[in-house]
Structure 1
C-alpha cells in the first residue's frame, strides 16, 4: 500500500472504522491493526459454520457414500496441513500480508469449485488444495499467519485476552453460520429452487467472502515490515515445539474422528435430524463455546494456562463418550452441549501458551508447526470415522475421540508442568 493510498478518503474511513472497532473489542494497549484480523476471522468463521453442516448433506445429495464424505473431509485437512507446513518454512521469506491475500484468493476459488463441480475426483482436488473447513476449529492456512501477527501486537499480560477474543470471534461467527445452514431449505420452500442448487448458492457465498477477505487484507500494511524482530525458523525452542506438536497430533487425530461435518452426519443418520435442525444445534453449541472462550481468560489467570487446558478438556471428553451411549436425542444433545461449554476453553490458552514458551522471532514457525497436527493428524480421522459409520459402528468415533483426548490431556500435563513461559 502506497503513502497516497493510506491518505485516500477510503483508507481514512477504513482507519476510522478500524479505530472504533478496536476500542470496542480489543484489550487495552493492543495495536488497532488486530481488529482487521478479528473481522477476517469472523467472516471465515461464518462460512465454516454452515459449510460443516451442509457439506455432508450436499455430498449425500450428489449420490456419494458416507465413506466419501469422510474422504473429502480428510482431503481438506491434508491440504490445509501441507499449506500450513509450507507457511512455517517460507513464512519468514514473504510478507505476511501477501500470504494472507493469496489465501483469500484460494478461498474464493474453493467456493467456485464446490459450487460448480459434481464429480468425485475434481471435488477431491479442490478439497485438497482449497480452504474448506469441515471441523469446529480453524485449521486453515490463515491460522499461523494471523496467530503470529496477533502475538506481536500484545504484551504478555494481554496476549491470552487477545487470543480469547480471536477464538471467541471465530466461535460466535461459526455459531451464526450454522444457523445459515437452514437457508437452502428456505430457498427451496419459498423460491422453488432445487435443494442442491440452493446448497450450491451457499458455496457461491463462500467464494464472495473470499473476495471480501482479499479486499480486507489488502488494506493491511506489509506485516513483515512492522517494527520488531523478524520471523525466523525454529532455533532455541525447537525441542519444546516438537514435543508440543507430537502431543497436539494425538489431540488433532482424536478431533478428526468427530469433526462437525461428521458429527452432523451422525446426528442426521442416528436421529433423523434435518440440516436445518442440525444447524440449530450447532448454533447453540457454538454460543456455549463462545461463552467459554471468555471464561477461559480469568480461569487461566487463576490456575494457569496449562491447567486450564487440561482440567476443562477431560470432562468434555467424558461427555462425548457418554453421548455415544445416550438412549435418546434429548440426552445426547444435553451431553454434547456440556461438551461444547468445556471443550474449546483450551483453544486461547493453548495458543497463548505456545506463544509464551518460544522466543518472539520463532512465533510464526512455532504457530505453523504446532498448527500442522490440527490438520495433518486429524486428516486421517474423518476417513476412518466415515468407514466406521458406513460399517454401522455409529458410536465408535465418539468413544475413540474422547478416550484419545483424555490420554493427550494427561500426557501434556505430565510433560509440560515444569516448563515456564519465557514472555
Structure 2
C-alpha cells in the first residue's frame, strides 16, 4: 500500500475484493445456470447485453449526479441495488423477467469491473492518495478485485460438486450463487457506511458543472475506450465460459479453475504495470502490453484442443489487464479533481454501452457454431483500439510524467 494512502483507500480495496469475489462466482455460473433453466445461447447473450446496458445507464446517471448527491451516498445506493439484483435472480426463472432484472440491476458478467460502482470508487480512490502514488494504488485496487474474482471463479464449482455429491437439483444448487451475491452486497454496504464523511471533499466531487474544463479530452478518450470495450464484449467471462462449454465440453468446475488461474495471472500483472508505467509512461504501458495480448487471443481461437486454447488464454491474461490501472490513473490525472467523478462516469459509460452490443452478437455466433468467432472479433477490435490510442494520445503526458521529464532534463543540464 502506498505510504500516502488513507484508511478510506484500504476500505475501498476491501470492497473491491468483496465485489470481485461475488462477480467471479456469478459470471462463471451464469451461463450454465441459464442453460439449465432452459434458455438458449441467444437468450443468454440478450441477458448479458441487458446487464451491460443497464449498468451503462445507471453509471451515467449516478456519475453525472455525483457532484450533487456525494460519492458515499452513491456507493450506498449501488450496494442496495446489488442486494436487490441478487434477490431477483434468486427468485425468478422466466426469460423476460430475468431480462428486466438484468437491465435494472448490477450483475456483472465480466471478469473486469464494468458496474455502476466503478466511477464512484475510482473518483473516491483518487482522493485518498497523492498523485505520485495514484497508479500504484490503482494497481492494488485492481489486484484485489482480480484475485478475489479468481477465488470466486474457483468457488463457482462448489454448488455443482455439492449437487453431485448429495443428489441435489443442479440448477437449484447453482442458484445459491445469487444468494451469495446478495449477502456480499450487505457486507459492502456496511463498509461504505464507514467511509469518512470528508471523502467527497478530498475527491473533489463538488462542482456546479460536471465536465467544464476537460470535456474535449474526456469525450475523445471515451470514444477510444468504447472501441476497446466493444471488442471486450465478445469475450465477457460468462460468454467465454459458454464457448469453452460448447467448443470443448468443459465442466463448470474445470472452467472455474481456468478462470481462477487467469484471475491470479491478471491480478499480479497489474503490479508490474505500475512499475512499467513509471519507466515508459501510462499510454505506452497501455498499448505495449495490450497488443501482444490481442495476438494471443486470436491464436487461442485457432487452437484445435482444449489444453492449447486454454494455454493461450492464460498467456493472454498475463498481459491483457496490465493496461487497466494505467488507464484509470491516466483519466484521473488529465482532468481536474472536481471533474473526476463525471470523467470516470463518461469514460466508462460508453465502454459499457459498446460492450453491451457485442454479447448478443456473440450469442448468435455461438448458436450457429462452436468456433471462436467472438474471440477473433474481440482480438481485431482491440488491436485497432491500441493503434489509435497511441496515435492520438502518445504525446499527451499527465502532469506527474511531465514533471519527471522536466526534473530529468534539468539534472542532465546540470551534469558536467
With the shorter chain as reference, the TM-score category is over 0.9
Give the match for residue 70 of structure 2: 95
**CA deviation digits over 1:290-335, x for unaligned, max 9?**
1101110111111110000000000000011111111111111111
**Cα deviation, residue 227, structure 1:** 4.5
* TM-score with structure 1 setting the length: 0.92
Match among 181, 184, 188 for residue 156 of structure 2: 181
1:153: which partner in 2? 128
Contact 2:119 2:344 in 1 (8 A): yes
Gaps of 5+ in 1: 1-25
Q: Which residue of 2 aligns with 1:332?
A: 309
2:173 maps to 1:198: yes
Q: Structure 1 residues 284, 418: closer, same or farther in 2, change over 3 A? A: same
Partners of 1:264 and 1:272 lie apart in 2 by 10
Matches within 5 A, 1:67-106: 67-106=42-81
Match of residue 117 from structure 1: 92
Return the offset for 1:230.
4.0
Match of 1:39 among 1, 11, 14: 14
Q: Deviations along 1:140-188, whole A, 9 cap, x unmatched?
A: 1110000001111111110000000000000000000001111111221
Q: How does 1:310-329 map to 2 (within 5 A)?
A: 310-329=287-306
Map of 2:322 onto structure 1: 345
Q: Does 1:126 align with 2:110?
A: no
Q: Deviations over 1:35-75 (max 9, x none)?
A: 11111101100011111110000000010100111000000
* 1:275 alignment partner in structure 2: 252
Offset at residue 225 of structure 1 (A): 4.8
Aligned-CA RMSD value: 1.2
| Inter-partner Cα distance in structure 2 for 1:172 and 1:249 | 25
Cα contact 2:204–2:340 (8 A) shared by 1: no
> Is the aligned partner of 1:372 residue 2:349?
yes
CA distance in 2, matches of 1:251, 1:237: 21
User: Residue 358 of structure 1 corresponds to which residue in structure 2?
Assistant: 335
For 1:59, the equivalent position in structure 2 comes to 34
Within a 5 Å distance, the mapping from 1:250-289 to structure 2 comes to 250-289=227-266
2:372 to 395, 405, 411: 395
1-side partners of 2:315 and 2:356: how far apart? 26
Number of equivalent positions: 398
Question: What is the CA-CA distance between 1:420 and the residue it aligns to?
Answer: 2.1
Match of 2:111 among 116, 120, 136: 136
> Structure 1 residues 341 and 225 mapped into 2: Cα distance closer, same or farther (>3 Å)?
closer
After TM superposition, give the deviation of residue 422 of structure 1 in Å: 3.4
What are the Cα deviations for residues 112-157 of structure 1, in whole angstroms up to 9, with x where unaligned?
1101101011100111111100011101111000000111111111
Please state how far the C-alpha of 1:393 moved relative to its aligned partner: 5.9
Deviation, structure 1 residue 357: 0.8
- Partner Cα distance (1:330, 1:122) in 2: 38
1:244-267 residue CA offsets vs partner (Å, 9 max, x unmatched): 000000001000011100000000
Over 6 Å off, 4+ runs: none
- Distance in 1 (CA, whole Å) between partners of 2:204 and 2:20 is 30
Structure 1: distance between partners of 2:173 and 2:283: 44
For 2:202 and 2:159, the matched residues in 1 are separated by 47
SS at match of 1:148: helix
**Match for 1:306 among 280, 283, 289?**
283
TM-score, structure 2 normalization: 0.94
Other-structure match for 2:189: 214
Q: 1:240 maps to which residue?
A: 217
The aligned residue for residue 10 of structure 1 is: none
Q: Is the 1:250–1:404 contact (alpha carbons within 8 Å) kept by the matching residues of 2?
A: yes
Distance 2:205 2:159 in 1: 46
Change (3 A) 1:228 1:331: closer
1:386 to 337, 342, 363: 363
Equivalents in 1 of 2:328, 2:200: separation in Å? 23
Contact 1:96-1:223 within 8 A present in 2 as well: no
Is residue 358–residue 422 contact of structure 1 (8 Å, CA) maintained in 2? no
Q: Mean Cα displacement is larger for which, 73-82 or 180-189? A: 180-189
Structure 1 position 221, deviation (Å): 2.7
Change beyond 3 A, Cα 1:416–1:69: same
